[in-house]
Structure formats: structure tokens, C-alpha cells
Amino acid sequence: MAQSADLQPAELRRRQPMRAEIGWTLVASASLIVAVFFAPFRLAAWPSGGYPDVSVLSESMGAGFVQLWASGSGSSGSSVLNPQLAAAVDFWARFHIVKALLAAALLAVLVPLGLAIWRRYVRSDSLGRRLLLGVAGLTQAAFAFLALLILTANIQGAIAPWTSAMGLLPPVSSEPALAVAIEGVSGDLAGGVSSAAADALLHDFVVYHVAMSVVGAVTVIGLLAATFVVWRKRRATARTDRRKRRVLASASFAFVSTAALFALVTAANISTVVQPVPALLGFYGGGL
């Protein structure tokens, strides 16, 4: 009895730091999830100012693109952008940088949170507690996967913000001048005609997909390395520790599956780099 009484405080002392670890990482994760989805647009506008909302940014992008087409002059590359279009693209680059940093911070917090949750799952003797921890662990894994997707996509957008920002153009049905400009650029691209707008847009489009090719390849390598480490740890775990071995096997499968997804994304982007014009025309629906 005395020995059992001595063990109980020791067990409590062991659990308290783990509870504290999960507690602060849960609070940090929840805060960063909110920040990732709601803060980037506002933070991108600080302190130099920006746009009150996406609709105003969209209108500015459209007007700037019309001016670019109407000018009919300039050289390839970002220098071709007129002030209105350049301001919108610069803002969108800041938006992507802020969102990438927040996603990286979220991922950095979710990793130790997941480790803490699954450690408690392996050590728990209560079925109810294991079910609760299992649900929490799967939720953490889903948010970690989402954070990784957001991080990679926003690195790509920060490197080539013009191509990303073109997705913000207002509907051409309500903007006749924009419809003419897009049709003109599409015609130049389809006909192989060199123009300031078409050449600059094609250049940024290629950079956009080269960026994801590199980011995707690095992500695949990192995920495969994590798979190797986890699988080695599983092999070193005693066969009697079935619960831990199952958790490690599941983690390996998750890493490999995610690596396969990023490998497909990387291959698709490499294919676009090789043949960029059809993909860019497809982006605009081949014109109007």
C-alpha cells in the first residue's frame, strides 16, 4: 500500500508536464489557425497600407491589366507592370509571405502537439481516453496536412505573385475592356506573337510552376526522410509493444501518402514548365 501510494504522486508528476505541453500547444495552434485564415490580408496592408477588401484589389488588378494591354509597350519581366498593376501584385506578394510565415509557425506548433498526443495515446490504459486521444491526434494530423499545403502554395505565390494575383481578376462579363485585354493576350499566346503583356505574363507563369516544382520536390524528400526515420523507430520497437508499433506504422503510411501526393503535384508542375503556353491558355479558358 505504501509503495502504491508513493507511485501515485510520481505518476501525477509525470503527467503534469505532458498536460502542460498539450495545453500550450493547443492554445497556440488554435490561435494560429485563426490567424492563418483571417489575418494575412490585414497584416499585408500594415504598415504601408493596402486594400480594404478583396473586391477593391480585384478591381485594381483588372484596371491595371487593361492599362498594360492598352500600352502595348514594355519589356518582358516584372518591369512591364504599370504602377497600378505593380501595386496590386506587390500587395499580393506580401499577402503570400505573411500567410506562408503563419502556416510555417502553425506547422511548427502542430508537430510537437501531435507527438505529445500520440505519446499519451500509447501510454494510456483507458479505452475511453485512447478514443479521445485518437480523435485529437487525427484532427491534429489533418490540420498539419492543411498547414503544409498552405505553406507550399504560399511560397509559390510569394515567388511569382503576378500569376497568383491574376486569379483575382473580376468577371470579364461585367468588364468589357478587361474581356478585350484577355482576348488580346490569349490571341498573342496562341499565335506565338511576342508582346509586352503576353511575354511578361508567360515568364511569370513559368516561374510560378518552377517554384512549385522545386518546393514540391523538397517536400517529397523531407516526407520520405521522415518515413525512413519513423519506420526505423518502429523496427527498433519491441514486438510486444503493439500499440506503439501501430501508431508508428500509421505515421509512416501517412508520410508516404502525402509524399506521393506532392510527387504528383511536382510532376504536373514540371509538365507545365515544359509546355507552358497551353496551360496558360487553359487558365484563361483559351480566351473568350
Which tens digit of pLDDT belongs to each residue from 233-274? 999 999 999 999 999 999 999 999 999 999 999 999 999 999
Predicted confidence at residue 14, as pLDDT, reads 52
User: Of 87, 213, 232, which is closest to residue 162 (Cα–Cα)?
Assistant: 87
Low-confidence ranges of the chain (pLDDT < 70): 1-21, 73-79, 284-288
Predicted confidence at residue 135, as pLDDT, reads 95
Predicted confidence at residue 10, as pLDDT, reads 46
- Cell output for 52: 480594404
Predicted confidence at residue 211, as pLDDT, reads 98
d(CA 95, CA 76): 24
d(CA 105, CA 107): 5
Domain ranges of the chain: 2-283
d(CA 113, CA 116): 5
Contacts of 232 (CB under 8 A, 6+ apart): none
Predicted confidence at residue 75, as pLDDT, reads 45
